A and B are shown apart, each in its own frame.
Chain A
Amino acid sequence: MSDDFKKEMTALIDKGNKYVVVDFEQVIYVDSSFLGALVSSLKYAIPNQAEIVVAGLNKDILNLFSLIRLDKAFKIFATPQDAVDNRGK
């Protein structure tokens, strides 16, 4: 599943998308494999002048981002709409 996510993110960036919002609103939990794929995607985005942001994290996932310092690497928004509204800010 993590590999599929990574492939999908790579494809989105290769198509020229410069702002990708990962919507967590329907996500109950994530594991380390997914987080590795998310970070890998972010590293791929940077040299392609693209940005990956995350939105709609539940409390556990938000705390997990903080625990492993991913809150320092990703912009985090309350909702996907907030992410869209605040693009470039």
Chain B
Amino acid sequence: MSGETSKKFAFNNHPDELYHLTMAIIAYVSQIIDVNEDAVFKLKMVLIELLTNSIKHTGKAGSDIEVTLTGDEIIIIKADSGNPFEISAGTEKIAWPVPKEFLNKTIDMYGDLTGMLKARLDDDCRVSFFVKEANLLDADSKLINNLTEHFGLLIITRACKRFEYVFDTEKATNKFIATITTKKT
């Protein structure tokens, strides 16, 4: 594929529609570009979690899913007008736009002995997520008792080449931007 192509899909936040829409988007992508099994898996996991996030946090308004295919990347943007993403430094909740003292800081979100999800405050309205992986050998009770029970952002971050959140202060809208590579990893 040369150039860039994109399409918008609406999600009504109905749980029964989640998997149907996920598969419709995968079908759309597969019609336009060759996607390997690994990329399809990652795309599916990212969509399921973004749509689950929409159900949990955006209420009846639903969300828009924009899919852009460009070069060797699939870019998924979930946009909604729900409450802004909550991020805290210790016990202090950080407001949007992010105050200057927090800019370029990295915040520990959640994690366990397998790795820590971190959020870097790139500018006053943008956060990028990444995982600091741990060297894990075998399971034991210490690992299990330490396991996180929060997986949504962790799944998306581990599946993506880049994963960001952007808050539009003028429109009071949220965008989660997930970039998946179609290159074999």
Contact = CB atoms under 8 A, between A and B. Distances in A.
A binds B: yes
Q: Which of B136, B147, B155 is the most central at the interface, judged by chain A CB atoms within 10 Å of its CB?
A: B147
B41 A63 contact: yes
B158 A42 contact: no
A68 B144 CA distance: 13
Among all A-B residue pairs, the 9 with the closest Cβ atoms: A32-B151, A69-B114, A32-B152, A36-B149, A31-B52, A72-B139, A35-B151, A73-B139, A39-B147
B49 A68 contact: no
A46 interface: yes
Interface in B17-76: 19, 22, 41, 44-45, 48-49, 52, 56
A3 interface: no
B151 A42 contact: no
A54 B158 CA distance: 22
A77 to B, nearest CB: 15
Interface in B117-171: 136, 138-139, 141, 143-145, 147-152, 154-155, 158-159
Interface of B: 19, 22, 41, 44-45, 48-49, 52, 56, 114-115, 136, 138-139, 141, 143-145, 147-152, 154-155, 158-159
Given A32-B155, A46-B144, A67-B155, 8 more contacts: A29-B44, A33-B56, A39-B147, A46-B145, A59-B41, A67-B158, A67-B159, A73-B147
Contacts of B141: 46
Interface in A8-40: 28-29, 31-33, 35-37, 39-40
Contacts of A28: 19
Contacts of A46: 141, 144-145
A40 B144 CA distance: 9
Contact of B144 (A35, A36, A43, A67): A43
Contacts of A39: 144, 147-149
Contacts of B56: 33
Contacts of A43: 144-145, 147
B148 to A, nearest CB: 8
A36 B115 contact: no
11 contacts: A29-B19, A29-B22, A29-B44, A31-B48, A39-B149, A40-B149, A46-B141, A46-B145, A64-B155, A69-B114, A73-B139
